[in-house]
């Protein structure tokens, strides 16, 4: 690799991916020794899941390539096939772009395709948010990517130590924090709030956001495929019982998404949804504004663990999707039982906002990542330490 203007290829596969790496993309784009190439694929291209391409372009990022690799159906079969399709398409893209380093994010199926393509092509791989545990297939993917990666950017101290215990070279493990927290810090410092304008998008009832409200973000658990409709129904019935207005996000594209979405549609058909408003997608900045003012965040999104700790948002984490992930005092766990969820929500509302706990970063992860990528020396023949 050349020491001047290294080309860093960032592969984005979902709306969450973009928020998780945006600050690093900005820092790479503006770094005098780096060049940014962005590849967009999977659900990040599809309007059904809130296409991120238009948002990225408004932010000044023009994709170098688009990879249509998501086979719809949201089953374990289509998820596996989508991974394979990504592995077929991404090598061609990498061959055309000629990146010096590929930067991949997190733990999704497109992350695995990105990882395998880079590894077989002898392209150094950098990985953010490795080393964390969560108890689902995401954890298995995350750890597998760690063993392929040459450069590691964990978000917290426990993750850093776990990566080293997995046998990775400590000199290539950099605890930089989570780039998502950079964006959270930026939004909080601006102090803006979208307020009632949020009801101009989405569907459902409208209500006064100066009064307590809930944010619900619940995704399918791939290792519990087939139970998503029941799980989502229990959460919906719980928040309905609590009686506080709800802003609700549509589930992601993982296996079981159709089951989770079906529960939402059935709930709307058979219940009064005047205190519910549903969104296919929300800009990250808007989502953070809502988290900052919500009486409680309910569901199984990692945002409750990560951003919630930094913001101090009361969170009810439902089910196993974030199992064992390092968390702050703002999180209360509940099973997929409406009474248990409702009781936890009431407890969190009564408590109110928590003190900020920056265990996943201090708002400067993107700058650190860019600086390290500009100078790091990488040997694709990894040196293991045991």
Give all domains of the chain, ordered by start, each with its CATH number: 6-178+361-375 (3.40.50.2000), 186-351 (3.40.50.2000)
Write b or e for each residue in 171-204: b if 16 or more Cβ atoms lie within 10 A of its Cβ, otherwise e. Answer: ebbbbbbbbbbbbbbebbeeeebeeeebbeebeb
Per-residue CA distances from 221 to 105, 250, 296 (Å): 19, 14, 21
- Output the six-digit token pair for 52: 């991120």
* Pick from 298, 287, 105: nearest CA to 218: 298
3-class DSSP state of 47: helix
**Rounded Cα gap, residues 215 and 6, in angstroms:** 41
Burial of 47 (0-12, 13-18, 19+ CB in 10 A): exposed
**Rounded Cα gap, residues 373 and 305, in angstroms:** 27
Angle, CA of 362, 384 and 8, to the nearest 5°: 50
**Rounded Cα gap, residues 256 and 198, in angstroms:** 28
- Output the six-digit token pair for 104: 């991949």
What pLDDT is recorded for position 300? 95
Return the CA Rg of the chain. 20
- Output the six-digit token pair for 210: 């100066």
Pair 342, 244: CB distance under 8 Å: no
Pair 43, 15: CB distance under 8 Å: yes
Pair 56, 50: CB distance under 8 Å: no
**Rounded Cα gap, residues 156 and 20, in angstroms:** 14
- Output the six-digit token pair for 339: 């009474």
Pair 330, 359: CB distance under 8 Å: no
**Rounded Cα gap, residues 205 and 216, in angstroms:** 15
DSSP H helices in the chain: 15-30, 53-58, 76-97, 109-120, 137-148, 157-165, 179-190, 228-242, 257-270, 284-293, 302-311, 338-351, 365-375
* Pick from 79, 2, 77: nearest CA to 34: 2
- Output the six-digit token pair for 192: 């803006």
Walk along the chain (386 residues) and give the pLDDT tens digit of each residue: 445 789 999 999 887 788 899 999 999 999 999 999 999 988 888 777 767 788 888 899 999 999 998 888 778 898 899 999 999 999 999 999 999 999 999 888 889 999 999 999 999 999 999 999 887 788 899 999 999 999 999 999 999 999 999 999 999 999 999 999 999 999 999 998 999 999 999 999 999 999 999 999 999 998 899 999 999 999 999 999 999 999 999 988 778 889 999 999 999 999 998 999 999 888 889 999 999 999 999 999 989 999 999 999 999 999 988 888 889 999 999 999 999 999 999 999 999 999 999 999 999 999 999 999 999 987 766 544 43
**Rounded Cα gap, residues 190 and 284, in angstroms:** 14
What pLDDT is recorded for position 16? 77
What pLDDT is recorded for position 340? 98
């Amino acid at each position: 690799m050349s020491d001047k203007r290294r080309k860093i290829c960032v592969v984005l596969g979902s709306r969450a991916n973009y928020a998780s790496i945006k600050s690093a993309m900005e820092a790479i784009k503006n770094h005098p020794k780096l060049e940014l190439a962005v590849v967009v694929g999977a659900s990040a291209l599809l309007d059904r899941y809130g296409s991120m391409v238009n948002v990225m372009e408004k932010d000044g990022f023009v994709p170098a390539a688009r990879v249509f690799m998501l086979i719809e159906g949201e089953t374990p079969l289509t998820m596996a096939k989508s991974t394979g399709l990504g592995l077929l398409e991404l090598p061609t893209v990498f061959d055309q772009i000629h990146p010096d380093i590929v930067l991949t994010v997190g733990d999704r199926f497109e992350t695995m395709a990105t990882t395998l393509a880079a590894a077989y092509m002898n392209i150094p791989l950098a990985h953010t948010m490795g080393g964390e545990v969560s108890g689902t297939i995401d954890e298995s993917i995350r750890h597998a990517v760690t063993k392929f990666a040459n450069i590691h950017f964990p978000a917290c101290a426990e993750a850093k130590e776990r990566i080293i215990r997995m046998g990775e070279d400590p000199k290539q493990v950099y605890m930089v924090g989570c780039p998502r927290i950079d964006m959270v810090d930026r939004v909080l410092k601006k102090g803006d709030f979208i307020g009632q304008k949020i009801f101009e998008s989405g569907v459902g009832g409208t209500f006064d956001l100066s009064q307590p409200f809930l944010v619900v973000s619940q995704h399918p658990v791939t290792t519990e495929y087939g139970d998503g409709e029941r799980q989502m129904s229990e959460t919906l019935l719980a928040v309905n019982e609590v009686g506080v207005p709800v802003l609700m996000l549509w589930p992601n594209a993982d296996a079981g998404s159709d089951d989770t979405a079906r529960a939402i549609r059935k709930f709307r058909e058979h219940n009064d949804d005047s205190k519910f408003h549903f969104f296919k997608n929300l800009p990250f900045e808007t989502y953070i504004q809502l988290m900052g003012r919500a009486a409680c965040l309910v569901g199984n999104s990692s945002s409750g663990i990560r951003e919630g700790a930094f913001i101090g948002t009361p969170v009810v984490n439902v089910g196993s999707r974030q199992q064992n992930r390092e968390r702050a005092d703002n999180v209360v766990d509940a099973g997929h039982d409406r009474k248990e969820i409702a009781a936890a929500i009431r407890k969190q509302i009564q408590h109110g906002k928590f003190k900020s706990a920056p265990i996943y970063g201090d708002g400067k992860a993107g700058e650190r990542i860019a600086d390290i990528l500009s100078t790091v020396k990488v040997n694709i023949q990894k040196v293991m330490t045991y």
